[in-house]
Amino acid sequence: MNMTIYQSILEGDSEAAIVGVIEALERDLEPVRVLNDEMITAMEEVGRLFEEGEYFIPEMMIAARAMKKALSILKPHLLESHIEPIGKFVIGTVMGDLHDIGKNLVAIMLEGVGFEVTDLGTDVSPDRFVSAVREINPQIVGMSALITTTMPYLDASIRAIEQAGFRDGIVVMVGGAPVSQEYAERIGADLFAADAASAAKIARNHVLTA
Q: Is a pLDDT exceeding 90 seen at residue 84?
A: no
Q: Is a pLDDT exceeding 60 seen at residue 2?
A: no
pLDDT score, position 3: 59
Nearest to 194 by CA among 177, 209, 207: 177
Do the Cβ atoms of 160 and 130 come closer than 8 Å?
Answer: yes
CA distance readout (Å), 58 to 70, 72, 160, 165, 196: 19, 21, 35, 40, 12
**Arithmetic mean of pLDDT, 173-182:** 96
Determine the length of the chain: 210
Q: Would the pTM count as exceeding 0.75?
A: yes
pLDDT score, position 80: 85
Between CA 111 and CA 60 the distance in angstroms is 14
Q: Is a pLDDT exceeding 90 seen at residue 179?
A: yes
CA distance readout (Å), 71 to 3, 58, 174: 16, 20, 26
Beta bridge mates, 119: 91
Indicate the average pLDDT of the chain.
Answer: 93
Domains, in order of start, for the chain:
4-80 (1.10.1240.10), 87-209 (3.40.50.280)
Residue 92's region, left for phi above 0, alpha for psi from -120 to 50, else beta, is beta
The answer to which of 47-51, 94-98, 128-132 has the lowest mean pLDDT is 47-51
pLDDT tens track for 30-50:
998 999 899 989 998 998 999
